[in-house]
Amino acid sequence: MPYNLSDDQVLEALRLILRAKGKLSLTLFRSAPNALSKEGYRRRFGSLMRAYELAGYDSPLKATVVHRAEIRKVRSELMDTLVRLFPGEVSIQTRGPISRNCLRLKDGTRVAVRACRSRKNYYKGSAWILQGAKSEKRLISLLVCLNPTNTAPDFIYVLPPIANRCAVVLSLDHSWFKKGIRLEKLSSFCDVVRLISRGDNRPIGGERRPKGCISEDARAAMSQALRFRWNEKKKLAK
């Protein structure tokens, strides 16, 4: 069994694949002799990327993995800070091996902490990417928009549940922000969550639209993009 092999032996399995194929991937080493599973390498070396490094492979996905780890760190630190601010009032609830943990107030209200990475938008300036999270569509949302380096929160909103099934690009004038309350200071977290929970808690972004129908935000973004291109063409024509 591969699990009885030494660290060098399971790394050598990766090196053999690297020499033969010129790269490493889950598909390539999944059935290779003496190779561990993804979880096996993570437990042995801390992460699959670390195992790749020790095997001599510089993965093109390394930057993405590091980037995601930084965002998870910001999310975790914010949750820990809120628990320390409200001892006995706010706790972290584990929701099983698949669903992410969330915050839980003393009255039972659960809050999903959703970190949005920053991205420069060519037409609207700053923008943030909210990834889909099907398991959190019934939880009050703490929307954490990160700074340009994605290392700390830029601003935070408390919103009703969000039921987006795919990634959504949020700009400062996005209509979803109007349905929530901006959290100016962390000390008002519990009060703001209770205020939102007493309102209309129908999920945002879960509405089905007819095929071919686009949202008002998307239509506005398209119109702005067209105006921008038209102005650029006029400049070039002069």
Q: How many CB atoms lie within 10 A of CB 82?
A: 21
Instruction: Give mean pLDDT, residues 189-214.
Output: 77
Residue type, 33: P
CB 162 within 8 A of CB 205: yes
pLDDT at 213 over 60: no
Q: How many CB atoms lie within 10 A of CB 199?
A: 11
DSSP readout, 163-197? --SS-EEEETT-GGGGGSEE-SSGGGHHHHHHHHH
What are the residue ranges of helices labelled H in the chain? 7-21, 26-29, 38-45, 48-54, 62-85, 189-197, 216-237
Tell me: the pLDDT tens digits for 74-113? Answer: 999 999 999 999 999 999 999 877 788 999 999 999 999 9
CB 156 within 8 A of CB 145: yes
Residues 170, 166: Cα–Cα separation, whole Å: 13
Q: Which one has a higher pLDDT value, 148 or 236?
A: 148
Instruction: Give mean pLDDT, residues 188-216.
Output: 77
Residue position matching structure tokens 């506005």: 220
Confidence at 153, pLDDT banded by 50, 70, 90: very high
Note the pLDDT of residue 91: 96
- Classified as helix, coil or strand, 155 is strand
Name the CATH code of domain 65-212 (choices 3.40.1350, 3.30.530, 3.30.40, 3.30.870). 3.40.1350
CB 112 within 8 A of CB 141: yes
Q: Are strands 153-159 and 168-171 parallel, antiparallel or unpaired?
A: unpaired
Residues 61, 15: Cα–Cα separation, whole Å: 18
* Angle ∠(226,129,229) on CA atoms, nearest 5: 10
Supply 173's token pair: 């004038």
Residues 36, 6: Cα–Cα separation, whole Å: 11
Domain range annotation of the chain: 2-60, 65-212
Residues 131, 69: Cα–Cα separation, whole Å: 15
Torsion of CA 133, 162, 174, 172, to 10 degrees: -70
Residues 177, 81: Cα–Cα separation, whole Å: 23
Note the pLDDT of residue 210: 46
Tell me: the pLDDT tens digits for 40-50? Answer: 888 888 888 88
